[in-house]
Amino acid sequence: GARHRALTAGADDFLAKPVNSGMLLKKVRNWLGE
């Protein structure tokens, strides 16, 4: 699926659209290692 393609392309994670702002914040915090 699209998530697998994004990950294999080197993306750290995949956000499905529409993006939930709360979920986005959680993901960004994960990416930043907080």
Per the structure, the complete domain to which residue 20 belongs is given by 2-32
d(CA 26, CA 20) in angstroms, rounded, equals 10
pLDDT band of residue 9 (cuts 50, 70, 90) is low
Residue-level pLDDT at 31 = 86
Average pLDDT, the chain: 74
Average pLDDT on 4-12 reads: 64
| Residue 13 pLDDT greater than 70, yes or no | no
Among 2, 27, 34, CA closest to 12: 27
d(CA 1, CA 10) in angstroms, rounded, equals 15
What residues have CB less than 8 Å from 33, skipping those under 6 apart? Answer: none
Average pLDDT on 3-28 reads: 71
Domain count, the chain: 1
d(CA 24, CA 8) in angstroms, rounded, equals 21
